[in-house]
A = this chain, B = another copy of it.
């Protein structure tokens, strides 16, 4: 299907990680000695494999570079502190020696947040938090749990399950991403309609900075000055290292129910999303695919040929000519799910959507993390596969959708072959929604980075022109540095001045994740 649609594809093999040559480490020997003294030899790694494994994150560009064996963005060393005190020691040593520190959680950044940019530092270390991976405490009465930052989501959920509790933060990176990573990138999970963004779940945290610790207490609500938690949320490792976070948790859901529906067209589907977001009751998961993404989803789930024609015929009898997939998910107590589901289905039916059943819903839930892994296969096949996302108000959503779609299609069409551009609404709010685009095109062998850079540049420009945000849930990193100005306030100068002032005050040596977040 892909070569029919995208044109001839040139399969590519990645260079094996063992065959990758990494440049000699620039870490000064004296700094290495200090770090070994502070952390132990086992926690200071500068072998090629350890360094190559921390060369960038999971963006298409990161993958292409690593597949080529290009590890120019490998850090000079990898540090594995096991205590908060060790993190503090790293900050002290690196501040004195002017060594850049990139915080490493699950390594799933898709916005270049992990690029080992030295800036004006003499070397770069990746501060890998994977040994800080404990559930530290649970407050059952207040329904909060305190974690170390390096714990990955499956481990966090397993630890909570022993207490009958659940976090319920489920982004596509669920299996690898860390809780600390969610906090500093302002993540949003697939159940955000019910559970909210990570921003809404953070009640307290500790941040190690080069000038000392910021220990923000666990508080349900406060008017005691600006909420500094929100300054850490989205700070992307530029202000300090989150060493502990206290999050809202809930009882393990009694039941989870997923189901799929087909709405007739993107406009109708959007109205349905908006009604549910504004007037409720809201499902916990609420997603809408446009017609193109729906077609690809159906094809990938085996609905092709005769099966496809039968489905189309059945949908036409229901008045649906342009099916747009709707996913609804409900999690909670039996009574709550029963009530919400009944009400939501009533509203869904009032928009003339057709039920595709629990099977299709469960299939979505079953495959909810698979897209990221599928990408490796697509890249092997010679396909450019990347995603990007944004958000805006409901009244501006149509313009944003059209603008970004056109930009991607125009820049990626080659020899009359257009890319496949699918889009879904992945997160809804009373005031608006996010748009998540998936792009598939024939990769230009040898010029993959330039090909995607041109498309990303055009998409970024379209987002700014249509009043979208530079990122709804993946952060700024390097990918959005030059389009974040509007989000930071008009021409961005006052906002950038404010953030730079905080940065300079907390990180006077300028070692924390240089070249990220703030415009160049």
Flag the segment in A15-23, A84-92, A125-133, A220-228 that touches B: A220-228
With an 8 A cutoff between CB atoms, is A158 at the interface?
A: no
A431 contacts which chain B residues (CB < 8 A)?
142-144, 203, 218, 220, 248
- Report A12 CB to chain B, min CB distance, Å: 31
Known: A214-B489, A497-B505. A221 touches B197 (CB 8 A): yes
Report the interface size class on chain A. 35 or more
Contact B219 A391 (CB under 8 A): yes
**Do B506 and A472 touch across chains, with their CB atoms under 8 A apart?**
no
Answer whether residue A59 sits at the interface, using C-beta atoms and an 8 A cutoff. no
Which 9 interchain pairs have the tightest Cβ spacing? Answer: A220-B432, A215-B490, A230-B230, A501-B505, A220-B429, A186-B223, A224-B487, A142-B393, A222-B469
Specify the chain B residue showing the minimal Cβ separation from A502. Answer: B498
Interface pairs (27), CB distance under 8 Å: A141-B394, A142-B393, A142-B394, A143-B430, A144-B393, A197-B221, A211-B494, A218-B431, A219-B391, A219-B393, A219-B469, A220-B392, A220-B429, A220-B431, A222-B391, A224-B469, A225-B235, A225-B499, A227-B230, A231-B231, A248-B430, A250-B278, A280-B336, A494-B506, A498-B505, A498-B506, A501-B506
State the Cβ distance, A496 to closest chain B Cβ, in Å.
9
Known: A219-B391, A221-B427, A391-B220. A226 touches B142 (CB 8 A): no
Residues of chain A touching chain B, judged by Cβ–Cβ distance below 8 Å, are 139, 141-144, 185-188, 197, 199, 203, 207, 209, 211-228, 230-236, 239, 248, 250, 274, 278-280, 333, 336, 339, 391-396, 427, 429-434, 467, 469-476, 480, 484, 486-490, 493-495, 497-502, 504-506, 517-518
Q: How far is the CA of A79 from the CA of B444 in the complex (A)?
A: 63
Looking at the complex, which one of B142, B234, B280 makes contact with A225 (CB distance below 8 Å)? B234
User: Are B219 and A392 neighbours in the complex by a CB distance under 8 Å?
Assistant: yes
Q: Closest chain B residue to A468 by CB distance?
A: B219
User: Apart from A142-B431, A223-B474, what are 14 other A-B pairs with CB-CB below 8 Å?
Assistant: A142-B396, A143-B431, A199-B227, A218-B431, A220-B392, A222-B469, A222-B471, A223-B234, A223-B475, A225-B484, A228-B499, A230-B231, A231-B231, A280-B336
Nearest CB to that of A489 among chain B residues?
Answer: B214
Contact A391 B501 (CB under 8 A): no
CA distance A139 to B396 in the complex (A): 10
Q: Which residue of B144, B280, B469, B506 is within 8 Å of A497 (Cβ)?
A: B506
Chain B residue nearest to A429 (CB atoms) is B220
- Are A226 and B216 touching (Cβ within 8 A)? no
Contacts of A239 in B (CB 8 A): 498
Question: Are B226 and A233 touching (Cβ within 8 A)?
Answer: yes
Bound-state Cα–Cα, A501 to B500, Å: 9
**Contact residue among B139, B143, B490 (Cβ-Cβ distance under 8 Å from A278):** B143
Residue contact B224 to A233, C-beta cutoff 8 Å: no
Interface centre among A219, A225, A480, A488, by most chain B C-beta atoms within 10 angstroms, is A225
CB distance from A475 to the nearest CB of B (A): 5
A140 and chain B: residue at smallest CB distance = B395
**Are A223 and B472 in contact, CB atoms less than 8 angstroms apart?**
yes
Q: Which residues of chain B come closer than 8 Å to A227, judged between CB atoms?
A: 186, 199, 230, 233-234
Contact B393 A220, beta carbon cutoff 8 Å:
yes
How long is the Cα–Cα vector from A101 to B21 in the complex, in angstroms? 61
Is A494 touching B221 in the complex (CB atoms < 8 A)?
Answer: no
Distance (whole angstroms) from the CB of A408 to the closest CB of chain B: 20
Q: Judging by beta carbons under 8 Å apart, are B395 and A429 in contact?
A: no
Which residues of chain B have C-beta atoms less than 8 A from A504's C-beta? Answer: 501
Contacts of A225 in B (CB 8 A): 234-236, 475-476, 484, 487-488, 499, 517-518
Closest to A279 in B: B333
A178 to chain B, nearest CB (A): 16
Which residues of B have CB within 8 Å of A501? 501-502, 504-506
Instruction: Please indicate which of the listed interface residues A203, A220, A502 has the most CB atoms of chain B within 10 Å of its own CB.
Output: A220
User: What CA separation (Å) do A234 and B280 show in the bound complex?
Assistant: 30
Decide if A493 touches B143 in the complex (CB within 8 Å): no
Q: List the B side residues contacting A141 at CB < 8 Å.
A: 274, 393-395
Q: Which residues of B contact A339 (CB under 8 A)?
A: 339
CB-defined contacts of A220 to chain B, threshold 8 Å? 391-393, 429-434
With A217-B486, A228-B489, A431-B143 in contact, is A223–B185 under 8 Å at CB? yes
How far is the CB of A484 from the nearest CB of chain B, in Å?
5
User: Given contacts A220-B429, A227-B234, is CB(A214)–CB(B495) below 8 Å?
Assistant: yes
Task: Report the bound CA distance from A222 to B222 in whole Å.
Answer: 22
Determine the chain B residues whose CB is within 8 A of the CB of A212 once the complex forms.
493-494
A487 & B142 in contact (Cβ 8 Å cutoff): no
- Closest-by-CB residue of B relative to A427 is B221
User: In the complex, what's the smallest C-beta–C-beta distance from A316 to chain B, in angstroms?
Assistant: 30
The interface residues of chain B lying within 8 Å CB-to-CB of A333 are 279
Indicate if the CB atoms of B497 and A211 lie closer than 8 Å.
Answer: yes
Cα–Cα distance between A207 and B187 once the two chains are bound (Å): 27
